[in-house]
């Protein structure tokens, strides 16, 4: 794509990066085939190619964003399926993130929308505040249908029926390995996940320590910054992300770290991009160091769990001493292995290019793994998307749930809390995190969602 930025414009690092990305686009349109919003809405401007044209025009002319441009960019899920499809390597993620920051600086949204976005930015990244909000939403949930604003209704409807008690495992501390030490890792405990589902971090700690990891929850680490980053609130995103970088850099410079382990793939995509986010800041070097050792939990588990020729079930067969016990991962009625429908989170398969690893681990642990049709398509969660664009999100959720249920699973597994909440709100099939199943198969407790 031909661009016409001036030298003065290209002096800005964000604009220079946008120029590189725009020039890589060859207008082929392959991205439209895998764009969820284009499939639902059928509007070229709601496809990556259409949004690229809008962003190019907005940035080149340095114009104040208009409502129509903002609408189409807001409708983007940032699922990044277009990046997987693109034959030219267009880095759409960096482009749309820059466009959102540009819009946030220059566009005055309607007052109600500004208030809603302000509220989300000051609640979701803070577990304590979010927990209080969830308790309030739980009370208001029976009256959701009476709320006129679709976005507020979506917030009430998404509130879990039960808010879990605080897990003290999320406090800053160190967990000693239960087997000969193989790695020292920092666990990112996150923000929203700590309020919505404490079982995930608990299972992760049990599993990693069982496999010989010293697990550190670093003092000062918290929200990765992705929720505000994708709203274009760069200053707030950098503030929370910067705390993580400093916290993990201290651990790296102290006793050392082999990895920063992340069990929420939306966060993982952002942390792995810290080097880019902070490239023009004093934290650039430390941000790059942290990004270089950031790993999804399944990447680390693939290193720690020995491969076998067969998909054998049972902790003893996986080389983990002291956990021999009867096979537990059976379907109801003992009819065979538990049938797991694996949902590939967009941030994992498209953002981090991790596709086969989670499925391979589950199969190796003895589960029967099935994958739904159109597994590349988004479930409609996408951070705050299901709250800000509830109508589109509901259509995508219905499609995803239908595809998953068509596989007649005993349980649905995913690697991202947002996807788990989104899918769980539309199905009666239990939804658990991949690590919960792996923890169970290697000596841990049965996932609470399966005990009902």
Q: How far is the C-alpha of 150 from the C-alpha of 156, rounded, in Å?
A: 10
Query: Would you say how long the chain is, in residues?
Result: 452
Cβ(262)–Cβ(281) under 8 Å?
no
pLDDT digits (tens, 9 = 90+) for 202-244: 999 999 999 999 999 999 999 999 999 999 999 999 999 999 9
pLDDT confidence bin for 139, thresholds 50/70/90 = confident
pLDDT digits (tens, 9 = 90+) for 338-367: 999 999 999 999 999 999 999 999 999 999
Burial status of residue 23 (CB atoms within 10 A of its CB: 0-12, 13-18, 19 or more) = middle
Whether 61 shows a pLDDT value over 70: the answer reads yes
Q: Return the CA Rg of the chain.
A: 22
Per-residue confidence (pLDDT) for residue 67, from 0 to 100: 96
Cβ(94)–Cβ(34) under 8 Å?
no
Q: How far is the C-alpha of 129 from the C-alpha of 194, rounded, in Å?
A: 11
Letter string b/e over residues 265-276, b meaning 16 or more CB atoms within 10 A of that residue's CB: bbbbbbbbbbbb
Question: Cα separations (Å) of 307 from 210, 304, 325, 390, 428?
Answer: 17, 9, 20, 42, 33
Tokens 């104040």 identify what position? 64
Give 257's contacts (C-beta < 8 A, 6+ positions apart): 184, 185, 186, 216, 248, 251, 293
> Three-state SS string across 327-367, please?
CCCECCCCCCECEEEECCCHHHHHHCCCCCHHHHHHHHCCC
Per-residue confidence (pLDDT) for residue 133, from 0 to 100: 87
Whether 8 shows a pLDDT value over 50: the answer reads yes
Per-residue confidence (pLDDT) for residue 317, from 0 to 100: 35
pLDDT confidence bin for 330, thresholds 50/70/90 = low
> Three-state SS string across the chain, please?
CCCCCCHHHHCCHHHHHHHHHHHHCCCCCHHHHHCHHHHHHCCHHHCHHHHHHHHHHHHHCCCCCCHHHHHHHHCCCCCCHHHHHCCCCCCHHHHHHHHHHHHHHHCCCCHHHHHHHHHHHHHCCCHHHHHHHHHHHHHHHHHHHHCCCHHHHHHHHHCCCCCCCCCHHHCCEEECCCCCCCEEEEEECCCHHHHHCCHHHHHHHHHHHHCCEEEEECCCCCCCCHHHHCCCCHHHHHHHHHHHHHHHHHHHHCCCCCEEEECCHHHHHHHCCHHHHCCCCCCHHHHHHHHHHEEEHHHHHHHHCCCCCCCCCCCHHHCCCCCCCCCCCECCCCCCECEEEECCCHHHHHHCCCCCHHHHHHHHCCCEEECCCCCCCCCCCCCCHHHHCHHHHHHHHHHHHHHHHCCCCCEEEECCHHHHHHHHCCCCCCEEEHHHHHHHHCCCCCCHHHCC
Whether 417 shows a pLDDT value over 80: the answer reads yes
By C-alpha distance, which of 185, 219, 215 is closest to 202?
215
Whether 160 shows a pLDDT value over 80: the answer reads no
Whether 308 shows a pLDDT value over 80: the answer reads no
Average pLDDT over residues 93-115: 95
Which of 27-41, 319-333, 397-411 comes out lowest in average pLDDT? 319-333
Distance, CA of 307 to chain centre: 27
Per-residue confidence (pLDDT) for residue 316, from 0 to 100: 32
Q: How far is the C-alpha of 36 from the C-alpha of 33, rounded, in Å?
A: 9
Per-residue confidence (pLDDT) for residue 297, from 0 to 100: 98
Regarding predicted confidence, which is higher, 354 or 143?
354
Average pLDDT over residues 160-170: 88
């Amino acid at each position: 794509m031909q661009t016409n930025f001036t030298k003065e414009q290209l002096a800005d690092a964000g604009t220079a990066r946008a120029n590189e990305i725009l020039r890589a686009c060859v207008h082929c349109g392959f991205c439209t085939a895998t764009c969820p919003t284009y499939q639902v809405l059928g509007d070229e401007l709601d496809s990556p190619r259409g949004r690229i044209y809008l962003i190019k025009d907005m940035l080149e002319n340095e114009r104040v964003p208009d409502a129509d441009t903002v609408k189409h960019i807001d409708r983007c899920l940032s699922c990044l399926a277009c990046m997987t499809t693109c034959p030219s390597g267009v880095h759409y993620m960096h482009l749309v993130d820059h466009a959102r920051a540009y819009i946030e600086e220059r566009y005055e949204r309607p007052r109600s929308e500004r208030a809603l976005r302000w509220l989300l930015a000051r609640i979701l990244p803070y577990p304590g505040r979010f927990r209080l909000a969830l308790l309030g939403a739980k009370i208001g949930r029976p009256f959701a249908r009476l709320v006129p604003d679709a976005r507020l209704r979506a917030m009430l409807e998404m509130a879990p029926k039960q808010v879990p008690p605080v897990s003290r495992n999320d406090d800053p501390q160190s967990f000693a390995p239960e087997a000969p030490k193989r790695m020292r890792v920092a666990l990112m405990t996150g923000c929203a996940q700590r309020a919505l589902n404490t079982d995930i971090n608990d299972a992760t700690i049990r599993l990693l320590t069982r496999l010989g990891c010293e697990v550190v929850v670093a003092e000062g680490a918290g929200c990765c910054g992705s929720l505000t980053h994708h709203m274009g609130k760069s200053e707030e995103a950098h503030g929370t992300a910067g705390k993580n970088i400093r916290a993990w850099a201290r651990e790296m410079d102290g006793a050392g770290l082999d990895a920063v382990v992340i069990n929420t793939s939306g966060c993982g995509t952002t942390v792995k991009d810290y080097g880019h986010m902070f490239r023009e800041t004093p934290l650039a070097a430390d941000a790059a160091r942290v990004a270089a050792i950031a790993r999804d939990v399944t990447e680390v588990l693939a290193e720690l769990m020995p491969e076998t020729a067969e998909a054998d079930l049972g902790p003893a067969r996986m080389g983990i001493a002291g956990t021999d016990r009867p096979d537990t991962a059976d379907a109801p009625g003992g009819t065979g292995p538990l049938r797991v429908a694996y949902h590939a989170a967009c941030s994992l398969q498209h953002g981090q290019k991790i596709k086969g690893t989670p499925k391979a681990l589950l199969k190796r642990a003895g589960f029967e793994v099935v994958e739904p049709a159109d597994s590349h398509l988004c479930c409609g969660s996408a951070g705050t998307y299901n709250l800000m664009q509830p109508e589109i999100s509901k259509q995508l959720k219905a499609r995803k749930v239908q595809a998953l249920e068509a596989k007649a699973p005993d349980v649905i597994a995913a690697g991202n809390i947002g996807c788990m909440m989104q899918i769980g709100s539309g199905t009666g099939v239990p939804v658990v995190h991949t690590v919960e199943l792996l923890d169970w198969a290697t000596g841990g407790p049965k996932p609470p969602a399966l005990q009902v």
